[in-house]
Structure 1
Amino acid sequence: MKKITFLFIVFTQILLGQNNISLDYYLPQNISFNQEIPTPKEIIGHEVGEWHVTHDKLVEYMKKIAEVSPRVSIENRGETYEGRPIILLTITAPENHSNITEIRKSHVQLTENSGNSLNTENMPIVVYQGFSIHGNEPSGSNAALATIYYLAAAEGNEINDLLKNTVILLDPSLNPDGLQRFAYWANTNRSHVLNPDPNDREYDEVWPGGRTNHYWFDLNRDWLPIQLPESKARIKTFHQWMPNILTDHHEMGTNSTFFFQPGEPSRVNPLTPKMNQQLTKEIAKYHAKALDKIGSLYYSEEDYDDFYYGKGSTFPDINGSIGILFEQGSSRGHIQESENGILTFPFTIRNQFTTALSTLEAAKNLRVDILNYQREFYTNARKEAAKSKSSAYIFGDEKDAAKTYQLAKILESQKIELYQANEDITINEKTFKKGYSYLVPKNQKNHRLIEAMFDIRTEFEDSLFYDISAWTFPYAFNLDFEETKTAGNRTNNITLRTGNVNEQSNYAYLFDWHEYYTPKALNMILNKGLRAKVGKTPFSLEGKDYDYGTIMIPVQNQKLNKSELYEFLQKVAKEAHIEITSVATGLTKGIDLGSNDFEALKKQKVALIVGNGITSYDAGEIWHLFDQRYNMQITKLDTDNLGRTSLDKYTTIILPNMWGSALNGTATQKIKDWVRNGGTLIGYRNAVNWLERNDLLKVEFKKNEMTAKNITFEQKQFFSGAQVTGGAIFKANLDRSHPINFGYKNETLPVFRNTNIYMKPNEESYNNPIQYDLNPLLSGYISEENLELLKGAVPFKVQRNGSGRVIAFTDNTNFRAFWYGTNKLLMNAIFFSKVM
């Protein structure tokens, strides 16, 4: 009985003790602190780890510390989609602050040719410390409170020596919107008597959770494509400073302990120098020593990899820096049961704080070696560039300036030099038009980053990947590209061309469907109540050729008079960056403008199914595409309310990737009735299986029937993992006459896929407008078994169902917002479904 009573007392102390947590729990012992520097509790009103810090309170504390400490300065680098500041603190010795501009310039010079003359013995090292890019992995941002206090307030020779030799760029919240969303959830569900039961509501966030940003994007996959404001801010800082070490503080499953890099040795991108991993191991020794001291369990060289350069811990590796991933077992709230005992929120914060300091200790002690490595990285990169057989990559689309521009802007943001072609160039039957194409010389500072972004790879040391295995940017944008020795004119001002209407017409206006922003233009026209038609057959008029999908706006019988129509179309052309051509006759070479091969188009009212059972990433990408790219309204319908919602007003409903029974029987029947009455239903990825099960789509699947032979229990994970298609690029053949392919000029299309859903083609060839090639692999990993299934399969199907249409995509056409090349497939499915 005494033993039971004792255990009860200990357990109760654990549960209640967090309410009395002290800052001393985190801080190193036997160190004095400047009493003029306020503690977090004095500013935000609670101790670190007592509550989940909200982003506004986090910023409040950072501002206060920058105000009172000569070691700290603060800057606001922009705003998130929800208007929260994206702040950065620069922390170093006061004497360094007085000379910070020269320190930065000298440090960046280390990566230039002129850097060989610099003496690294006298240079401070630069460390970028980033916390909680996933908002519901909050121990990082909460640890940032203790970290900034320690760096601002600690006294003695040790901290003075550290700050003299180190410039710390501290990013306390890489995902402000997500952190705020999760803090609200954890705090509003916190009990006074803390409850570690994992079944409690506190540990079961509502959809979509706080992991992502406003549009439900995983910000930790955006370091390379930089499509989001949070990413743009941090990448700008990275290139301004070229830090030597970048840390990325995350969380993982509750039953895990603590991970630090290096990760799996066989899964390092081959473009990463071996010295990078050796230095990572040296730094790891400091983490192990620090965690040993406080008795925390940990592991390394397992699970995680350094392959995809779009992650925060891997992006630095292709830029002469060293990326460090930390993964802490998550309490997902304030306290939770785990296989390792009761896991408290303060404990998770302490591990993050401890490794933040061990990183700085390693940086200080390995300073010269790491600075020399950075210089050597760029020296060797220049040597590799000089040996290149071709002098440049050229990329472009002779009919789509906007898509080409968007890739050029990414390269420019990554500090890659670009040139414009002096004239039209033809290479391997591909035309690179002046004004529609760019050259990327290989012989430049960021040669290795260029190779990473243009990399085509189909052979790998390992068959398991933590993330995607291919991201070749010209493929992602569906741009023509080649290697060349052609020269060009360097450009320092990449601009998106302004659209125009050549002159007022009394008859009609035409515009090609090739440009990226044409859906934005068509939506503006239809929303204005104007009549527009789409041409299903190519034709020529007044010396110009018009392709499949040309949009025609007649002048007669419109709600605007001809002058008003002209003015409105000028606005449309400018906002959508397209050329609209005035024509004076309907007589053409081919179909005339009054032909029945011009199909009338209707205003679209689109809904997106979201909520429990729907993959938030996929849904967010679609929402972002409509909201940010095309300025199109889209109504988000929650799965929990779908059965009670009238669908009559919607012309199109999009069903993103889903799992389980996201839609109940009532909702399913309501959707089926809506389709039969004329609606267009578009399903993505696993939703294709749901469409087939519910008799909305007739489809036959190819299945991988392989069984394990001579595979041990230990090898089971690797056997099954090798069959995962985590993300690769494949060639599909197009029937350009089909409306789903309007706007595509080539007969083939690079398609990204990360599923193993294989639809058999239809017996009628015209029902297979997109079909995978018999030699489909362009870049990335796929098992031999799945590659056989993919050959000749189709990623798209459309079928009539009553008066409506059901459309299926096995692959994500909107992947991570940078897969511009297939965005138009979704727009075509929306605007032209009735033509299919």
Structure 2
Amino acid sequence: MKKSALLFLLVHFSYAQEAVNLNYYLPQNISYRTDIPTPQSIIGHEVGEWHVTHDKLIEYMKVLAAASDRITIEDRGTTYEGRPLPLLVITSPENHRNLENIRREHIKLTEAGSEDLSTDNMPAVVYQGFSIHGNEPSGSNAALAVAYYLAAGQGPEMDELLNNLVILFDPALNPDGLQRFAYWANTNRSKNLNPDNNEREYHEVWPGGRTNHYWFDMNRDWLPVQLPESRVRVKSFHQWLPNILTDHHEMGTNSTFFFQPGEPSRVHPLTPEMNQELTREIAQFHVKALDNIGSLYFSEENYDDFYYGKGSTFPDINGSIGILFEQGSSRGHVQESENGLLTFPFTIRNQFTTALSTLEAARNMRKKLLDYQRGFYKDTRSEAAGNKGKAIVFGDEKDAAKAWHLAEILKKHQIRIHEVAEDFTEKGKLYKKGFSYVVPRNQKNIKIINAMFETRTEFTDSLFYDISSWTFPLAFDVDYTTVSTSRSGAEITDLRLREGSVTAKSNYAYLFEWHEYYTPKALYKILQKGIRAKAGRSIFSIEGKEYDYGTIMIPVHNQSISSDELYAFLQETAREAHIDIHGVGTGSAIGTDLGSGQFGTLEIPRVAILTGNGISPYDAGEIWHMFDQRYDIPITKIDESYFSRVDLDRYNVFILTNTGGNLNNNIKEKLQNWVKKGGTLIGYRNAINWLKKNEFISTEFRKTDIVAKNVTYEEQQDFRGAQVTGGAIFKAETDRSHPINFGYKNNSISLFRNTNIFMEPDKQSYNNPIRYTDNPLVSGYVSEENLEQLKGSVPFKVQQSGKGKIILFTDNTNFRAFWFGTNKLLMNAVYFHEFM
């Protein structure tokens, strides 16, 4: 090392270890109340000296609420790990005394008849959210200083700020992830801070603190609202309809600081232009604030405002302004970067500074923001009125639960839904009462409805920060179409999923079709009880009712429990799984008798999944969540670090999900031997490439190399980015007689795809039970070159290997917990692999 470089490093080591002082963050042009506790007095260290743990963060917020008449705190529930999800409301004491009236007046501004409602003295509402990615901790640590500033700052400027704003303060959007990362950073912190990038402190172990308990990226869940953290904050959002919502993140260590607006060409077309104009105006307050402290920054590049499931974009379809902040991350306490030593306190100060500049913008632009919100909903009402008499109906005549879960999401977004007045058929699809819902288009939140139900295949830009399509009825695999509102019955205020039942007690056998979403849950409970069950591989009719492929048959005789006990148990199971089980008095059927060999014996699934380094925690977490939360089926998570010591014979199904291809040879050999002895290995997405490379499979793939023509060096990044299939929806034809498609009633299915893996179909047509059509694009972006490769390819294959099987999925059937419509493909692979 050169002498000058060594001197530079030593100087900055000394600087990095200097004691942090709260004044480093706080503006010094105002005074602070001495009766308000500082963060250090409660959490035991200065802000930025250590990473605050979630318990200490919340304890400080509770203390502030008790000490300050400017703050109240609301308990909104808990995370999967039981951590609290509080919301602070920060405003002047006078506003607090009139808070509910302020909220009602604010909501009234978005309703019809608000034209005469004056905004001259109406407070604006700002929702400030911090660190939805737990290992991007500068936001939540800055929340300590911001909350203190708002509680303790005094003077005319502070009074004016609090009189004119209601601040909804969410100090930790991801408590479980924040706690996980704080533990990592603090347990690896040295007394002598070490900025070396190779230091263990900056390389957290898998899965890292970014995600929540089930390893979900929660900043993709604002629209699907499948997670408890999302549900409480979306409820708070709709309860208040804030004018600005801020979302404080971090990015790579060598980056500086980003604030919106993002890429101008990557704004969703449903977002009004005025939204972006106001975003640019707010940005000038950040410019001034960051200039004042000498921090580098950038805007209008890299990030976009397209997917409405992100915290910074979700507000844009709701009459609000979403603001994304991205701070270069120290990922610990101090780290080398291209911009010099990046200290944790420095990252906190930038987040603190822009949190305050947001409030300053809201105060100065208060009336403009309120008037924009009123205008947004005035335009929305005009759009909705143009749809008077029109509605969307969706449902599945065979599966009430899927349709119910979609209706549940709509209700969480304050969308009115109605039951169908009576069963009817439209465009060849039956919409049944209790299995279908009607969404009138003439209602306040028509823009959210449009965002959730639209299909889009044309775009002004070919690059996307996130997915390019998320059409909800396609994700749920429900039938849907436009109908007259005359089809609707009463509005549903109390949304309840229908209860299941056993239609009649039988002394012969019980049957239930495989269509309902929760049938895998019911079947596991039955098999776990030690009850014998079989699955039918043909369509048959018995006692006047037709039963589809995959129907489950439970004989009454030769079971381990009596017929009375079996009946009682199945009643309980039917209720819990919301399914109907039919008792029959004969085995004689039209088609296949119940004693036929067409009924295959089922064994209880014993499932394991590989986790750890080299595995995508998102994909693994989605599968874990589905098994655990949806179906109550145990799944063993086996880490690659101790995989060599595991007895795989305990399992009959092993899932290898998306991998970067860095798995060791021990895993290869052990899995190969296990499969050849009779195990079933399910490979997802890029795991297929690993399986091919390591000679598990002989599947042929279509080449994806695309040659650039007339593309300059400057354009190469955009050219390559345009070839990424980042998330779009495609149509495939299905063979319903194949076990992988049991439980599906239509001959086609919509699949979510975010890979460029194109498998060649088998020469034998019956080995291609799912095949992309010749015109597969339904919604989203895909390059012309990749679309050509996709046509006629297959997203699913089964290959024999010794006594076992390898099942391949090119696409994610469990995407972000809201792709309900393809969850059963995985469950079919788990339950019916012996039939394939």
* Partner SS for 2:650: coil
Q: What's 2:50 paired with?
A: 51
> Are 2:679 and 2:805, in contact at CA under 8 Å, matched by a contact in 1?
yes
Q: What's 1:509 paired with?
A: 510
- 4+ residue runs of structure 1 moved beyond 6 angstroms? 1-6
Q: What's 1:420 paired with?
A: 419
> Are 1:813 and 1:825, in contact at CA under 8 Å, matched by a contact in 2?
yes
Q: What's 1:340 paired with?
A: 339
CA spacing shift, 1:158–1:502, aligned 2, 3 Å: same
- Correspondence list, 1:596-611, <5 A: 596-611=597-612
Q: Relative to structure 2, which stretch is displaced further, 390-399 or 212-221?
A: 390-399
Deviation at 1:446, TM superposition (A): 0.4
Q: What's 2:137 paired with?
A: 138
Q: What's 2:542 paired with?
A: 541
Q: What is the rounded CA distance, in whole Å, between the counterparts of 1:525 and 1:197 in structure 2?
A: 56
Q: What's 1:807 paired with?
A: 807
> Are 1:513 and 1:550, in contact at CA under 8 Å, matched by a contact in 2?
yes
* Partner SS for 1:787: helix
Can you give the 5+ residue segments of structure 2 that lack an aligned partner in the other structure?
none
Q: What's 2:565 paired with?
A: 564
Q: What's 2:75 paired with?
A: 76
Q: What's 1:744 paired with?
A: 744
Q: What is the rounded CA distance, in whole Å, between the counterparts of 2:666 and 2:339 in structure 1?
A: 43
> Are 2:389 and 2:442, in contact at CA under 8 Å, matched by a contact in 1?
no
CA spacing shift, 1:341–1:498, aligned 2, 3 Å: same
- Correspondence list, 1:101-116, <5 A: 101-116=100-115
Q: What is the rounded CA distance, in whole Å, between the counterparts of 2:758 and 2:398 in structure 1?
A: 32
Q: What's 1:733 paired with?
A: 733
Q: What is the rounded CA distance, in whole Å, between the counterparts of 1:552 and 1:683 in structure 2?
A: 29
> Are 2:434 and 2:498, in contact at CA under 8 Å, matched by a contact in 1?
no
CA displacement 1:564-597 (0-9 Å, x = unmatched) = 1001111110111100000000001110000110
Q: What's 1:156 paired with?
A: 155
Deviation at 1:443, TM superposition (A): 0.7
Q: What is the rounded CA distance, in whole Å, between the counterparts of 1:332 and 1:4 in structure 2?
A: 23
Q: Relative to structure 2, which stretch is displaced further, 125-134 or 667-676?
A: 667-676
CA spacing shift, 1:559–1:706, aligned 2, 3 Å: same
Q: What is the rounded CA distance, in whole Å, between the counterparts of 1:828 and 1:499 in structure 2?
A: 22
Q: What is the rounded CA distance, in whole Å, between the counterparts of 1:820 and 1:163 in structure 2?
A: 44
CA spacing shift, 1:615–1:76, aligned 2, 3 Å: same
Q: What is the rounded CA distance, in whole Å, between the counterparts of 1:12 and 1:416 in structure 2?
A: 55
CA spacing shift, 1:235–1:405, aligned 2, 3 Å: same
Q: Does 1:249 align with 2:248?
A: yes
- Correspondence list, 1:90-109, <5 A: 90-109=89-108
Q: What's 1:830 paired with?
A: 830
Q: What is the rounded CA distance, in whole Å, between the counterparts of 2:213 and 2:595 in structure 1?
A: 46
Q: Relative to structure 2, which stretch is displaced further, 384-393 or 448-457?
A: 384-393
Q: What is the rounded CA distance, in whole Å, between the counterparts of 1:406 and 1:238 in structure 2?
A: 21
Q: What is the rounded CA distance, in whole Å, between the counterparts of 1:638 and 1:296 in structure 2?
A: 42
> Are 1:259 and 1:298, in contact at CA under 8 Å, matched by a contact in 2?
yes
> Are 1:419 and 1:438, in contact at CA under 8 Å, matched by a contact in 2?
yes
- Correspondence list, 1:222-371, <5 A: 222-371=221-370
> Are 1:393 and 1:481, in contact at CA under 8 Å, matched by a contact in 2?
yes
Deviation at 1:389, TM superposition (A): 8.0
Q: What's 1:496 paired with?
A: 497
Q: What's 1:785 paired with?
A: 785
Deviation at 1:426, TM superposition (A): 1.6
Deviation at 1:660, TM superposition (A): 2.7
> Are 1:420 and 1:438, in contact at CA under 8 Å, matched by a contact in 2?
yes
> Are 1:390 and 1:483, in contact at CA under 8 Å, matched by a contact in 2?
no
> Are 1:507 and 1:555, in contact at CA under 8 Å, matched by a contact in 2?
yes
Which letter maps to 2:242? P
Q: What is the rounded CA distance, in whole Å, between the counterparts of 2:167 and 2:646 in structure 1?
A: 52
* Partner SS for 1:834: helix
Q: What's 1:446 paired with?
A: 445
CA displacement 1:410-468 (0-9 Å, x = unmatched) = 00011000011111122211111122111111110101011001011000000000000
Q: What is the rounded CA distance, in whole Å, between the counterparts of 1:543 and 1:783 in structure 2?
A: 50
Q: What is the rounded CA distance, in whole Å, between the counterparts of 1:279 and 1:403 in structure 2?
A: 39
* Partner SS for 1:113: coil
Q: Relative to structure 2, which stretch is displaced further, 702-711 or 8-17?
A: 8-17
* Partner SS for 1:246: strand
* Partner SS for 2:414: coil
* Partner SS for 2:74: strand
Q: What is the rounded CA distance, in whole Å, between the counterparts of 1:613 and 1:194 in structure 2?
A: 29
* Partner SS for 1:320: coil
CA displacement 1:244-263 (0-9 Å, x = unmatched) = 00000000000000000000
Q: What is the rounded CA distance, in whole Å, between the counterparts of 1:813 and 1:495 in structure 2?
A: 26
> Are 1:244 and 1:371, in contact at CA under 8 Å, matched by a contact in 2?
yes
Which letter maps to 2:690? W
> Are 2:388 and 2:442, in contact at CA under 8 Å, matched by a contact in 1?
no
CA displacement 1:33-92 (0-9 Å, x = unmatched) = 000001000000000000000000000100000001000000110000000000110000
* Partner SS for 2:649: coil
Q: What is the rounded CA distance, in whole Å, between the counterparts of 1:187 and 1:195 in structure 2?
A: 13
Which letter maps to 1:568? F
Which letter maps to 1:165? N
CA spacing shift, 1:8–1:524, aligned 2, 3 Å: closer
**What RMSD in Å do the two structures reach over aligned CA positions?**
1.2
Deviation at 1:5, TM superposition (A): 9.4
Q: What's 1:700 paired with?
A: 700
Q: What is the rounded CA distance, in whole Å, between the counterparts of 1:459 and 1:768 in structure 2?
A: 30
Which letter maps to 2:758? Y
CA displacement 1:524-568 (0-9 Å, x = unmatched) = 111111110000000111111100000000001000110010011
Q: What's 1:640 paired with?
A: 641
Deviation at 1:9, TM superposition (A): 6.1
Deviation at 1:776, TM superposition (A): 0.3
Q: What is the rounded CA distance, in whole Å, between the counterparts of 1:368 and 1:586 in structure 2?
A: 74
Which letter maps to 2:507? N
CA displacement 1:663-687 (0-9 Å, x = unmatched) = x212211111111111110000011
Alignment size in residue pairs? 833
Q: What is the rounded CA distance, in whole Å, between the counterparts of 2:400 and 2:13 in structure 1?
A: 66
Which letter maps to 1:155? Q
CA displacement 1:309-361 (0-9 Å, x = unmatched) = 00000000000000000000000000000000000000000000000000000
Which letter maps to 2:536? G
Q: What is the rounded CA distance, in whole Å, between the counterparts of 1:690 and 1:166 in structure 2?
A: 54
Deviation at 1:706, TM superposition (A): 1.9
CA displacement 1:680-734 (0-9 Å, x = unmatched) = 1000001111222222222000112321121111101110000000000000100
Q: Does 1:185 align with 2:184?
A: yes
Q: What's 1:378 paired with?
A: 377
Deviation at 1:637, TM superposition (A): 0.6
CA displacement 1:768-809 (0-9 Å, x = unmatched) = 000001010000000000000000000000011111111000
Q: What is the rounded CA distance, in whole Å, between the counterparts of 2:233 and 2:379 in structure 1?
A: 26
Which letter maps to 1:764? Q
Which letter maps to 1:624? H
CA spacing shift, 1:346–1:532, aligned 2, 3 Å: same
* Partner SS for 2:297: coil
> Are 1:50 and 1:346, in contact at CA under 8 Å, matched by a contact in 2?
yes
> Are 2:13 and 2:193, in contact at CA under 8 Å, matched by a contact in 1?
no
> Are 1:534 and 1:601, in contact at CA under 8 Å, matched by a contact in 2?
yes
Which letter maps to 2:630? R
Q: What is the rounded CA distance, in whole Å, between the counterparts of 2:530 and 2:625 in structure 1?
A: 25
Q: What's 1:764 paired with?
A: 764
CA spacing shift, 1:319–1:702, aligned 2, 3 Å: same
Q: What's 1:717 paired with?
A: 717
Which letter maps to 2:191? H
CA displacement 1:139-191 (0-9 Å, x = unmatched) = 00000000000000001000000000000000000000000000000000000
Deviation at 1:6, TM superposition (A): 7.0
Q: Does 1:532 align with 2:525?
A: no
* Partner SS for 1:509: strand
Q: Does 1:686 align with 2:674?
A: no
CA displacement 1:191-217 (0-9 Å, x = unmatched) = 000000010000001000000000000
Q: What's 1:774 paired with?
A: 774
Q: TM-score, normalised by structure 1?
A: 0.99
> Are 1:729 and 1:752, in contact at CA under 8 Å, matched by a contact in 2?
yes
